[in-house]
Chain A
């Protein structure tokens, strides 16, 4: 790491803590409403959290000051990372507690929603941690400190101490359907990425066989990639409807113009592209000497593919898989719009009722899943020794 990067980190960490302090005072921290429908004015975290507001501000100030301090790099990295994670965790914890207190005062129908500055504070924490980890060398310590706040918040959720927040109430009201839609969402992702992976590998390998095949394959894939999601589903819908009208098997499988069939077709079509493109790029950039030697030594085509070409192309193919996974996880939200269910259901339901917490009930798991896939595949890439893989 260069000196410049290390000094840059000071600026970013300090900016993050300034953002955090500002966030604490802007009047959009918590929204207390007597019931689910009524609107109410949000209050700032500072005034909502009482004494804990002081602690919060103190944490941010300490993070900023330590970031700029002349402490040794390692100490600074450890302390600032801890503080950068502690502040958001504190906010979530205290918001949960305030929500419980408000529910005790105002009764069961009362709702406490998280306001925009809570999310801004989470982002501020992300900035501080992102910057401060630049002072730490990779390893278990750094990973532990980075993910500690995530685990802390997860523990808060699991302990039920956030149960009176409006989003948790929405979850409680929808627990059954949530489990179902969550599984359905994952099924869409798994099926589409699975299909995309197989098709993408085959098409990428096909395209690597010659210029005109390349032009053909990517000519088609480029067009698919550009189609607007809703229009693409719309285009498939009449086609699938008439297929199931005419072919009994399709009808038996439950293929219809709406529902899972058009969703999986469209998501798979999008997922093919990054995988095919990366497969192709990786294969054509393999060292020709290696392939020549493999052939010259008497390896057959399939063996060359399985033992040399695919293993060597794997890091780049996995990078494509990572893009496809993230993109599909987010993209599967549209299923909720065309009768396919999934987590999008809550988003579109919430959009209709202006119920932000219901929307979040759909969005937050999607984002969490996508981030998990992203980090998970990145870890896989690194484990496979791809030092070039970047966050």
Chain B
């Protein structure tokens, strides 16, 4: 879908992005991660030619973007930034309608699409449509930013620290919804962040940058199990394992059958939508060896530490989409 070859950007002899070759498959959620100044934004902006590369190429569906008209290229990619960049002089409806208008859609189609998009990001079109951006909370504004980026149904979404400026709780909501939207709509997303938790939670693949160079790219599990160098290991720190466990759900675990006797009644119960991290916490917290996993209140089987670890290496994550619940079963 998107591929960069030896992509480089220099500013007066200073190299902001250095020979980056990456590829992002269709429908993949790719995260560009790295410390401040490592070149993430510059790299992202070269993808839609907001920044012209010094050398190297960007291919979209195998086509060199250098030959395309920049505006047309940008209209085919959604773009979301931290400060939301909502146009303060336009209503929310009109903001969301921007790209469809640019593409010359007719009124009816645009209106319908705007309603759908606001719905998609969880905002009521009637209430929010006529508002102005300065009447929204940070989280709402960010949702509108996502709706605007998705309005013309671009196959690709570029996002630069979109949730960097909202409070932690709202941020987590937005992250979970973003992941859901990306899966439902099968969008290819390139997402810049310097927040490790966010990266590990969202990414199908991570490219870790430093001084403009890719240190390592791969799935979070790859980066955890086989860090390419000390920088990668140190950057993620010792909590990476736990963070990775938060990516996986009990629904991915191959459960052991319930023992025929009633002994499992004394075991702590947990919903199958809980993450492995939550399951682990439960094991450690209760001192039990096994947990009973329930689906809709019905016990389905049991899991112990070893089965959790097996699920991790299988590398599937929350197959049915979203983390449906958390913590102990009621």
Known A287-B83, A289-B81; contact A297-B88, beta-carbon cutoff 8 A: no
Contacts between chains A and B (CB distance < 8 A), count: 63
Asked whether any CB of chain B lies closer than 8 Å to the CB of A70, the reply is no
User: CA–CA, A292 to B145, complex, Å?
Assistant: 13
Q: Mark B32-68, 1 if CB is under 8 A from A, else 0.
A: 0000000000000100101000000000000000000
Contacts known (A289-B81, A289-B82, A289-B83); A296 close to B48, Cβ less than 8 A: yes
Q: Is the CB of B71 within 8 A of A308?
A: no
* Whole-angstrom CA separation of A300 from B158 in the bound complex: 19
* Cβ contacts B277-292/A at 8 Å (1 or 0 each): 0000000000000000
Q: Are A308 and B81 in contact (CB under 8 A)?
A: no
- Closest chain-A Cβ to B145's Cβ sits at a distance in Å of 8
Residues of B within 8 A of A303 (CB): 102
**Contact stretch, chosen from B72-80, B188-196, B209-217, B242-250:** B72-80
A293-B79, A311-B89, A312-B89 known; A298+B84 contact, CB < 8 A:
no
A292 in complex: contacting residue of B81, B88, B89, B148, CB < 8 Å: B81
Nearest-neighbor residue (CB-CB) of A289 within chain B: B83
Closest B residue to A286 by CB, please name it: B88
A384 to chain B, nearest CB (A): 10
In the complex where A293-B79, A295-B50 touch, is A300 in contact with B71 (Cβ < 8 A)? yes
B81 touches A296 (CB 8 A): yes
Structural contact, B71 and A298, CB atoms closer than 8 A: yes
A296 touches B50 (CB 8 A): yes
Known: A298-B102, A312-B88. A293 touches B74 (CB 8 A): no
Task: Give CA–CA (A312, B50) in the complex, Å.
Answer: 22
Prevailing SS type, chain A contact patch: helix
Give the chain A neighbours of B81 by CB distance below 8 A: 289, 292-293, 296
Which residues of chain A in 275-298 are interfacial with respect to chain B, using CB atoms and an 8 Å cutoff? 287, 289-298
Residues from chain A with a CB closer than 8 A to the CB of B149 are 297
Q: How far is the CB of A206 from chain B (nearest CB, A)?
A: 23
Chain A residues within 8 Å of chain B by Cβ, number:
18
Which residues in B have their C-beta under 8 angstroms from that of A368?
Answer: none
Q: How far is the CA of A307 from the CA of B102 in the complex (A)?
A: 12
**B20, CB-defined interface residue at 8 Å:** no
Shortest Cβ distance from B74 into A: residue: A298
Q: Evaluate contact between B99 and A298: CB separation under 8 angstroms.
A: yes
Judge if B122 is at the interface, Cβ distance under 8 Å.
Answer: no
Is B98 engaged at the interface, CB distance under 8 Å to the other chain?
yes
Q: B158: which A residues are within 8 A, CB to CB?
A: 296
Q: Is the CB of A297 within 8 A of B98?
A: yes
Report if B86 contacts A (CB, 8 A): yes
A387–B45 CA distance with the chains assembled, in angstroms: 36
Please judge, given known A-B contacts A289-B81, A292-B81, whether A298 and B86 are in contact too, CB under 8 Å. no
Distance of A314 from chain B, by nearest CB (Å): 8
Distance to closest chain B CB from A160 (angstroms): 49
Task: Give the CA-CA distance A300 to B72 in the complex, in Å.
Answer: 10
What are 7 residue pairs bridging A and B, where the CB atoms are less than 8 Å apart in the complex?
A: A287-B83, A290-B85, A292-B81, A293-B79, A295-B74, A299-B102, A312-B88
Known interface pairs A292-B50, A293-B84, A303-B102; 20 further A-B residue pairs with C-beta atoms within 8 A, sorted by A's residue number = A287-B83, A289-B81, A289-B84, A289-B85, A290-B87, A292-B85, A293-B81, A293-B85, A293-B86, A294-B85, A295-B74, A296-B45, A296-B81, A296-B85, A297-B79, A297-B99, A298-B72, A298-B99, A298-B102, A308-B87
Report the 8 A-B pairs with minimum CB-CB distance, sorted nearest first. Answer: A293-B85, A289-B83, A296-B79, A298-B74, A298-B75, A311-B89, A289-B85, A298-B71
